[in-house]
Amino acid sequence: MSTRFTIARLGSQGDGIAETETGEVFIPFALSGEVVTAAREKDRATLMSVLEASPLRVDPPCRHFGACGGCAVQHLETEAYHRWKREKVVHALKSKGIACDVGALVPCAPHTRRRVVFTARRSEAGMQFGFVRALSSEIISIEECPISAPQIVAALDRLRMLAGLICTTTKSFHMAVTVTGSGLDVAVHDSGKLGENQRRVASNFVIAERLARLSVDGEVIIEPNKPVVLFGGVAVAVPPGAFLQATEAAEQAMANIVVQHFARAKKVADLFAGCGSFALRLAARSEVHAVEGDAAALAALDRAFRFASGLKRVTGERRDLFRRPLTFKELNAFDGVVFDPPRAGAEDQSKQIARSDVPLVAAVSCNPVTLARDLRILMDGGYALKSVTPIDQFLWSPHVEVVALLEKPRRRR
């Protein structure tokens, strides 16, 4: 049974929110100001029809939108979408009492997502391969994807076939596909242990289809071409499953902001450094100490530095910054600190930075909520927030990347 709702506003996850006598109701794919009918179940409802459409409603560019759970707001006009993304950051900062002139959203174009994670499962109907429907375990088979790089879209049928070749379970498993300079890097997780025949068949398939590498649960099955990406012109051979920013354009936008902030810094600490997307760019001007908990990522960074030319010294340290953050005394050896933690943020590390005398800090985050918490800690420690720039790395999704720059005068010693 459907109920009539008037949408009061667009929520942080892209759902239309209707206010009723029994509380708020969240309706995916409805826009602010619209009158809709929807089938309600507790505080959520399934959109049935749009009776009065918003002037900001547009036709989504993807035929899978609404079924595929990857995108939330393809139906929202571009400028309104940009305002909504920026407001997510503004609201997160306000929740911590931070008043700041948040910059305009830096857009990223469609067809630029270089890393995509697919879900696969073998069923009685055959091999299911695609993206998971929102709030469901149903896998939606896709034939197009306007956010993904063309190399990934062109390989969809081949990737589906590869999933079938390596699957040893009826449970769902994941296939992360990354565009690199030497081809597609395919990293599979939770597909089950491969037998010798499966390894041989899968390896032959990878060679025939000219994929760069296949790894399963971190083990390299075959690597015809070592996957390489460029960080500021420095070639990095990335390990299986390595973290990379979702789009190259967003990575470059973030790096430009960070590098400019540290233009006069002689020595910079790069915390949660990964494979070196910031460190190797910063090293063109500054000495860099890269701290990272993942040994393979740190080794890749170190190898890239050793084979590069024209860089300042880059040192590496393997360290779990959640368990053992750099202390304020250690940090005082640096002119600048950049940190780019996972979604959980860097609360304990921020407390140490706040106690330090480091004059320049850049905070990078894919979670405005935890970023706001960490910025509040830094500001309470004497840092002045100079700029906040949102970057639309995750097109048409509720997620947004943010770069915040801070400064603190050096104390006289």
Catalytic residues: 366
66: left (phi over 0), alpha (psi -120 to 50) or beta: left
The candidate with the shortest Cα–Cα distance to 147, out of 116, 183, 184, is 116
Spatial contact of 325 and 348, defined as CB atoms under 8 Å apart: yes
Question: What is the CB neighbour count within 10 angstroms for residue 97?
Answer: 10
Q: How many residues does the chain have?
A: 413
The candidate with the shortest Cα–Cα distance to 387, out of 95, 85, 109, 93, is 93
What tokens does 269 get? 């600490």
DSSP 410: P
DSSP 267: E
Spatial contact of 363 and 379, defined as CB atoms under 8 Å apart: no
Sign of CA dihedral 44, 46, 50, 51: negative
Sign of CA dihedral 331, 334, 335, 339: negative
AA identity, residue 297: A
Q: From CA 334, how far away is CA 358, in angstroms rounded?
A: 6
What tokens does 314 get? 């880059």
